[in-house]
Chain A
Amino acid sequence: MKKIESTFINMLVSLLMVCLLSAGLLAGVYELTKADIALAEKNKQENALKGVLPEFDTIETDSINGTPIFKAYKAGEYVGVATIANAMGFSDNITIMLGLDKSNNIVDYEVLSQKETPGLGTKCVVWFKSQINGKNIETNFKVVQDGGDVDAITAATISSRAFLNAVKNASETLIQKETDATTTATEIIN
């Protein structure tokens, strides 16, 4: 079968058909995968929350100054709160999810996204767990180089500082929430 001649009409029609068919196919696949993609996103967030909060069965989403916060309840009782915070790292923003228990001690954190140097700044994903987990959120965390107690990642001081900045941003959001939480707790007791 000989190839179609490159006349103007042929070129127009063939390109039109290719684009129409592609658009149709893409729309179809988009519809097909829409639900599963939304589910995957939701699962991702839920798994992150499960990792950083004490055991819970309900989550109440709220927001303070545009930052989302997740209040956790178990059998109707408040057990903790988590928020998402970020700070500029060595290459790009480091985004973390930080969770507190009801005494405002850090339960755990999870790094949601970072673009730090592989093998160096990327260690922030686990490096600080032993140093900040269990401590009160109002602690002023600083690296040793800045006069504090936190051991920075070897050869990745900038990433370490950025990580602690993110924790500080999280604490500012959550302390504001603290005031509200106390109010709510009082209401429940009454």
Chain B
Amino acid sequence: MKKLTILFNGFLKENPTFVLLLGMCPTLATTTSAINGMSMGLATACVLLFSNAVISLVKNLIPDSVRIPAYIVIIASLVTIVELCLKAWAPAISESLGLFIPLIVVNCVVLGRAEAFAAKNSVFDSALDGLGMGLGFTLSLTIIGAIREFLGSGNIFNINIFPEDYGMLIFILAPGAFIVLGLLMAIIQHLKNK
């Protein structure tokens, strides 16, 4: 498989959010603004890159029956490392993402790609896949976050476009997340089927 194909796979063809429908929980919860969505996506991308690489590295050393617990320990350790680094060197981002950073461990995209790709491919290919999926995830989270922020408060990336009083509050709350996600999914499926 061509290297670039692997990398760009996660952007549209197998986008984790709109096509694979993985990682819905953090998607809905952290896309209250564009910057929040982007930060969450980038943190997940970081974990995906390293978890895919490490798991591909040790795939032949871990017996099949214990691969799930082994992968989870590896992923959890990587997430904790990301969490500690954010707390130390980007405390503002750490605070705004709060509880959702440790929740990257149970983000299905991470374990899903580990099982579906890293367990069966070379280290370099797995790293590319992890990076591509992570960037695709970041892209979708940023788009959803930007739409919700714009409709809900008139800002995008904290730049004011129209007065906040005219925003539709529902888009910042949970129902709005589902609505935006569902509509975007429908649009993308329609474009893909054409």
Contacts and interface: CB of A to CB of B under 8 A. Distances in A.
Given A6-B65, A11-B66, A40-B91, A19 B85 contact: no
Contacts of B32: 118
A6 B64 contact: yes
A10 B60 contact: no
A6 B58 CA distance: 15
A119 B152 contact: yes
Interface residues of B, number: 30
B13 interface: no
Interface in B30-75: 32, 58-66, 69-70, 73-74
Interface in B83-98: 84-85, 87-89, 91
Contacts of B65: 6, 11
Given A14-B66, A119-B172, A33 B60 contact: no
Contact of A18 (B59, B62, B88, B169): B62
Given A25-B81, A33-B85, A119-B169, A14 B62 contact: yes
Q: How large is the interface on A (under 10, 10 to 19, 20 to 34, 35 or more residues)?
A: 20 to 34
Main SS class of interface, A: helix
A115 B70 CA distance: 36
Interface string A1-29: 11111110011001101110010011001
A127 interface: no
B80 interface: yes
Contacts of A33: 84-85, 87-89
A11 B69 CA distance: 11
Nearest to A25: B77
Contacts of B152: 119
B63 A37 contact: no
Main SS class of interface, B: helix
B80 A2 contact: no
B64 A29 contact: no
B180 interface: no
Contacts of B91: 40, 43-44
A40 B88 contact: yes
A37 B73 contact: no
A10 B63 CA distance: 7
Contact of A4 (B61, B73, B81, B172): B61
B173 interface: yes
A153 to B, nearest CB: 13
A4 B87 contact: no
B66 A26 contact: no
B27 interface: no
A120 B164 CA distance: 12
27 contacts: A3-B60, A3-B63, A4-B61, A4-B63, A6-B64, A7-B63, A14-B61, A14-B62, A14-B63, A14-B66, A15-B66, A15-B69, A15-B70, A19-B73, A22-B73, A25-B77, A26-B80, A29-B85, A33-B88, A37-B84, A37-B88, A40-B88, A40-B91, A117-B173, A118-B32, A119-B153, A119-B172
Interface of A: 1-7, 10-11, 14-15, 17-19, 22, 25-26, 29-30, 33, 36-37, 40, 43-44, 117-120
Interface of B: 32, 58-66, 69-70, 73-74, 76-77, 80-81, 84-85, 87-89, 91, 152-153, 167, 169, 172-173
Given A3-B60, A6-B63, A6-B64, 20 more contacts: A6-B65, A6-B66, A7-B63, A11-B65, A14-B66, A15-B66, A15-B69, A18-B62, A18-B74, A22-B76, A26-B77, A26-B81, A30-B84, A33-B87, A37-B87, A37-B88, A44-B91, A117-B173, A118-B173, A119-B153
